[in-house]
Amino acid sequence: MKAMEQKSKNTSPRLVRLGRKRILKGTVVSDKMDKTIVVLVEQIKQHPRYRKRYRIFKKYKVHDPDNKHKVGDKVDIQESRPISRDKKWIVL
């Protein structure tokens, strides 16, 4: 499995690549939609010149077909084909 994982210098440990599809780890912040959850992903980056670390937060709409994840759950999400205009991620 180590041969399949590729990490670059600018990615945080929360981002893993298996083949071509990205896998992210985050926290569910909303589950009000049907079959959709909103996941907040935090990444830590380092400024190229000043070497200061800073955090970036991004929200992703994720397909959850069983509606089993609730607010506060830690989930892994994987990139997939577009499911709707905003949903391009699925829950693992």
Q: Which of 70, 68, 87 shows the shortest CA–CA distance to 31?
A: 70
- pTM value surpassing 0.75: yes
More confident residue, 66 or 3: 66
Does the residue 57 lie in any domain? yes
Does the residue 4 lie in any domain? no
CB-based contacts of 19: which residues, under 8 Å, 6+ apart? 4
Residue range 46-91, pLDDT digits in tens:
999 999 999 999 999 999 999 999 999 999 999 999 999 999 999 9
Percent with pLDDT over 70 in the chain: 80
Does the residue 6 lie in any domain? no
Does the residue 20 lie in any domain? yes
Does the residue 9 lie in any domain? no
* Residue 33 vs residues 16, 67, 89: alpha-carbon distances, Å: 27, 9, 15
Domain holding 73, by residue range, is 15-91
Does the residue 8 lie in any domain? no
